[in-house]
Amino acid sequence: MIALLEMFGDQVVVRDWGYFYGKSLFNHDVFWHFGSYPLHDPYMFGGQDLLANPQANVLSPFVLFDLFFRIPYSVVLRVAAYMVCGAFGAYKWFKYNGASSLASYFSVFVFLHCTFFSLHLAEGHITFAAFYLFPLALLSIQRFTDNRFKLIFFAIQALLILDGAIYVFVFQ
């Protein structure tokens, strides 16, 4: 994460980073400079209603990162939050399926650093960071008879929709 911050700095870069940086920057600027909540982006694609965009994150709890931090910090904090939740979920999933503590820690390390995440995040697919929640969703499905895990599963699904991770929602 530190290398990502040093590599990009405060500049908006090409590929999908520019798209998601632009959304985060717009959220921040509308909130602080105009004193309103971002609902319509007149600068993106000739005008875009953010509530109608399935990749908009204006209803996400992670929009707080956009409101209180500038890019790239807000985007990196969002990815880091997903990584922490994903590490916890992966560790619990491996332990539930009978792995030892050492094997669970190693598997979590491999899961967090696999090429799927590094390639998508390097390309700028920020919404794909929500795939870090996949092991926690699997654990919730395996223990679906417990009401707590039903709540966790549906909370994950709601977060995916509210955070604009529509691709992840479809695959989970």
In the three-class reduction of DSSP (H, G, I as helix; E, B as strand; rest coil), residue 41 is classed as strand
Query: What confidence tier does 7 reach under pLDDT thresholds 50, 70, 90?
Result: low
So what's the pLDDT on residue 120?
Answer: 85
Question: DSSP secondary structure string, 96-161?
Answer: HTT--HHHHHHHHHHHHT-HHHHHHHHHT-GGGGGGGGHHHHHHHHHTTTSHHHHHHHHHHHHHHH
Query: What confidence tier does 141 reach under pLDDT thresholds 50, 70, 90?
Result: very high
Question: Domain ends where: 57, 73, 89?
Answer: 73
* Same-domain pairing of 94 and 143: yes
User: Per mean pLDDT, which of 16-20, 41-45, 116-120 is the most reliable?
Assistant: 116-120
Orientation of helix 73-96 relative to helix 101-112, angle to 10°:
150
Question: Domain ends where: 73, 91, 126?
Answer: 73
Give yes or no for residue 94 having a pLDDT over 90.
Answer: yes
Split into its structural domains, the chain has a count of 2
So what's the pLDDT on residue 27?
Answer: 84
* Same-domain pairing of 65 and 26: yes
Q: What is the model's pTM?
A: 0.84
Give yes or no for residue 45 having a pLDDT over 90.
Answer: no
Question: Domain ends where: 73, 105, 126?
Answer: 73
Mean pLDDT of 142-162: 94
* Same-domain pairing of 84 and 166: yes
* Same-domain pairing of 94 and 154: yes
Least confident of 61-70, 78-87, 137-146: 61-70
* Same-domain pairing of 61 and 88: no
Mean pLDDT of 151-161: 94
* Same-domain pairing of 167 and 82: yes
* Same-domain pairing of 40 and 92: no
Mean pLDDT of 107-121: 89
Average pLDDT, the chain: 85
- What is the CA angle 17-25-167, rounded to 5? 50
Neighbouring C-beta atoms of residue 78, cutoff 10 Å: 25
Nearest 5°: phi and psi at 35? 70, 25
* Same-domain pairing of 18 and 98: no
So what's the pLDDT on residue 38?
Answer: 85
Give yes or no for residue 47 having a pLDDT over 70.
Answer: yes
* Same-domain pairing of 53 and 136: no
Range of the domain at 134: 78-171
